[in-house]
Amino acid sequence: MIVGLQQLLVLSALLFTIGVAGFITRRNVLIMFMSVELMLNAANVALVAFARHSGSMDAQIIALFVMALAAAEVAVGLGIIVTVFRNRQTVNIDDVSNLKW
């Protein structure tokens, strides 16, 4: 018995939205990062759904690559966070926003 496409997509949409909401709402940088992971997972769910419903495995391969990518990204991202917060031991890092004009 196959899971319905629409249900799967609804799941994906919900997860994605939750990820977005988490990203823009939380002030903790690590939780922001985790929200990004959530969004990536939502995409994966959509991909898997379409893989099943179209009968071709290409989407699963893509989902696999997405996971690998996420791993790489997390590694580097956390490295950056560690460096940044190593250098600024103090709190109130409002000037991590150095990119501003």
Residues 30-89 that bind another protein (CB under 8 A): 30-35, 37-38, 41, 44-45, 48-49, 51-55, 57-58, 60-61, 63-65, 67-76, 78-83, 85
Q: What is the DSSP string of 39-87?
A: HHHHHHHHHHHHHHHH--THHHHHHHHHHHHHHHHHHHHHHHHHHHHHH
Residues 4-33 that bind another protein (CB under 8 A): 4-11, 13-33
| Helices and strands, number each (H, E), in the chain | 3, 0
* Min CB(17)–another protein separation in Å: 5
* Min CB(47)–another protein separation in Å: 9
For residue 18, CA distances in Å to 38, 43, 57 come to 8, 13, 28
* Min CB(91)–another protein separation in Å: 5
